[in-house]
Amino acid sequence: MDAAIAAAIAAEEGWLPFDRFMALALYAPGLGYYARDARQFGQMPSSGSDFVTAPELSPLFGHTLARQVAQALQATGTREVWEFGAGSGALARQLLASLDAATTGDEQGRRECGAVEYRIVELSAALRQRQQRTLAAFGARVRWLDALPGRIEGVVVGNEVLDAMPVQLLHFDGTRWFERGVALQDGRLAWADRPTALRPPGEHRFLPGAVTEIHRQAEAFVRTLAARLARGAAFFIDYGFPEHEYYHPQRHGGTLMCHRAHRADTDPLADVGTKDITAHVNFSAVALAAQDAGLHVLGYTSQARFLVNCGLPALLAAADARAQVAAQPLLQEHEMGELFKVLGLAAGAPFEAIGFAGGDRSHTL
């Protein structure tokens, strides 16, 4: 167990709320999973990777999303793409390549038509370096920011970013609610509960022993983004559910999950810093926070529906057999097609986003 975690627990008089623990385990310099210079993203354990994300699976993911981004740039009259949590830089490379191809070929053409500028906000210094290597060919058009500027005009994208934001854990014993935190027991990390006034949002039935999450950081992130996004749109892609599914009695163990070497486990207290920790996204809470902060919900649907609406079938038809096979999990229900959702938001006048043209499920949020 790491000294930084022990020190944090001691500084909090023996009990660290889980969201603080998760923030350290993922992002603390020298300890956090995302602070390490490692290959988190990749297709197979043999590459040393721990999990695969959509842009790592197939470049057709970014090429399809680019159609939505292009439409949103046009509809909102903006010229910047903002990516949060850009991972290896694969999605940025796919989006830039597609957007450039759409505006037209040569450098002069791009200057005349106005090539998009790309901004990346990334918490991990190690990943930022990796992104800089991946995106070197795009030169000064790609810039990294340490903090959000006061005003953003552009189209925001975030793939699997909300799930990486620390969550608070709640435990219901049948009559009372507790916040679950981390303490030291015989020199080892152990769960420890404290009575709390915190509750999951809404009115849902919880069985005795239920453990679940609340997502204050993700909601705060969306509120901050809404306050800064003066003109534009945002598209968040992640695994998650609307609130009534999230807090369904069947999901009584919650959604907290760790990933290492393409295997999932449910023990974030073991091997801290060597594995990813995530929780599913409560898309109702994210959409509500966005609306309360002045954004419009453009749509909400499954990843499969969104990609089909944006024209993935035509891109697949033009691809070779190997690329077609690689892209299948993006659409398959038992892979990313149904568990992953897309939420679209707009600052300023809402528009008919192509990704939600069919199968919009905003009414379920």
Ligand X SMILES: C[S@@+](CC[C@H](N)C(=O)[O-])C[C@H]1O[C@@H](n2cnc3c(N)ncnc32)[C@H](O)[C@@H]1O
CA–CA gap between residue 106 and residue 165 (Å, rounded): 39
Q: For the chain, what is the radius of gyration of the CA atoms?
A: 21
273 lies in the binding site for ligand X (CB under 6 A): no
Q: How far is the CB of 188 from ligand X (least distance, A)?
A: 27
CA–CA gap between residue 8 and residue 358 (Å, rounded): 48
219 lies in the binding site for ligand X (CB under 6 A): no
81 lies in the binding site for ligand X (CB under 6 A): no
- Out of 82, 84, 172, 356, name the contact with ligand X by CB under 6 A: 84
Q: Which is nearer to ligand X, 192 or 227 (by Cβ)? A: 227
Q: Which is nearer to ligand X, 217 or 364 (by Cβ)? A: 217
Determine the size of the site formed for ligand X (CB under 6 A): 21
Q: Which is nearer to ligand X, 51 or 246 (by Cβ)? A: 51
Nearest C-alpha neighbor of 172 from the set 219, 208, 218? 208
By rule CB under 6 A, what string of x and - marks binding of each residue 17-36 to ligand X?
Answer: -----------------x--
179 lies in the binding site for ligand X (CB under 6 A): no
Contact segment (CB under 6 A) with ligand X among 8-16, 17-25, 68-76, 83-91 equals 83-91
The token pair at 60 is: 């057709």
By rule CB under 6 A, what string of x and - marks binding of each residue 133-162 to ligand X?
Answer: --------------------------xxx-
Nearest C-alpha neighbor of 115 from the set 132, 103, 131, 97? 103
Q: How many CB atoms are closer than 10 A to CB 7?
A: 11
Q: How far is the CB of 308 from ligand X (least distance, A)?
A: 20
- SS3 call for 28: coil
Q: How far is the CB of 120 from ligand X (least distance, A)?
A: 9
87 lies in the binding site for ligand X (CB under 6 A): yes
Q: How far is the CB of 292 from ligand X (least distance, A)?
A: 19
Q: How far is the CB of 124 from ligand X (least distance, A)?
A: 4
CA 116 to chain centre: 22
Q: How far is the CB of 84 from ligand X (least distance, A)?
A: 4
Alpha carbon distances (Å) from 4 to 15, 20, 24, 192, 267? 14, 12, 8, 18, 19
Residues 343-362 that bind ligand X (CB under 6 A): none
By rule CB under 6 A, what string of x and - marks binding of each residue 45-74 to ligand X?
Answer: --------x-xx------------------
- Out of 28, 123, 167, 281, name the contact with ligand X by CB under 6 A: 123
Handedness of CA 228, 234, 238, 241 (dihedral sign): positive
Contact segment (CB under 6 A) with ligand X among 85-93, 94-102, 266-274, 332-340 equals 85-93
Q: How far is the CB of 307 from ligand X (least distance, A)?
A: 14
Q: Which is nearer to ligand X, 84 or 172 (by Cβ)? A: 84
- Out of 115, 121, 298, 304, name the contact with ligand X by CB under 6 A: 121
Burial class (CB in 10 A: 0-12, 13-18, 19+), 188: exposed
CA 105 to chain centre: 31
- Sheet of 276-278: strand order equals 263-265, 257-260, 276-278
DSSP for 150-195 reads S-EEEEEEEES-GGGS--EEEEE-SS-EEEEEEEEETTEEEEEEEE
The token pair at 103 is: 């505006």
Residues near ligand X (CB under 6 A) are 34, 41, 53, 55-56, 84-87, 91, 121-124, 127, 159-161, 164-165, 221
